[in-house]
Amino acid sequence: MKLQAALDTLSLEDCVALLSETRGSIDIAEVGTPFVIEEGMRPVREFKSKFPEIEVLADVKIMDAGEYEADKCFEAGADICTVLGVSNNATIEGVVRSAKKHGKKVMVDMIEVPDLAARAAEIDAMGVDYICVHTAFDVQKTGKDPLDDLKVVNKVLKHAKSAVAGGVKLNTIDAIVEEGAEIIVVGGFICNAEDRAATAKELKAHLK
């Protein structure tokens, strides 16, 4: 199991500080979508340069021009890039082609996919590496938990590994770990913690 830190709204300098503080606990540094909008691929290059032992995920949520856009992420140094599960199959297949070409990985974000089980089964056959259930930021305040979606996806996966994102905290991580996910994504709970190093270390201790 891997712990992924979702870095969305902090400055580049603060993200570098956070990754230095939490070294040894964070396995994957996610350059979140708001961060990409603000800075482009600059954080990807910076993280790979300063933290070569950490995998870097570019959360670009590709929706079209799959191979072309994924190429840009991987050329910048990303180890993983994301594509939306609601995208056309041709787009997802393009991202997979790019990943294979560069020796990198693909994560499919299942945010707002209407039939989770059916679509996860389809995508699982396309050669992607991870399928991520994701409770949207705008939905988290309703109390929705990604655990139920994780159970649905885990039942149909045969090739890809599952990931989970959206409001994960210390009081929810054990149930997620028990259900099983290769990657557990935590954002605000680490980024907004008073002691980010201790928080990341404690979360990491819960992973198998």
Cα-based distances in Å from 118 to 106, 108, 136, 151, 153? 19, 14, 20, 13, 9
What's the CA gap between 203 and 164, in Å, rounded? Answer: 14
Interacting residues of 61 by C-beta distance below 8 A, sequence separation 6+: 33, 82, 83, 84, 109, 111
What is the per-residue pLDDT for 146?
87
Q: What confidence tens digit (pLDDT) does each residue in 131-175 have?
A: 999 887 777 666 677 899 999 999 999 999 999 998 899 999 999
- Identify residue 75 by its one-letter amino acid code: E
Domain architecture of the chain: domains with CATH: 2-206 (3.20.20.70)
Residues 4/187, Cβ–Cβ less than 8 Å: no
Q: What confidence tens digit (pLDDT) does each residue in 122-135 have?
A: 999 999 999 999 88
Q: What is the mean pLDDT of the chain?
A: 96
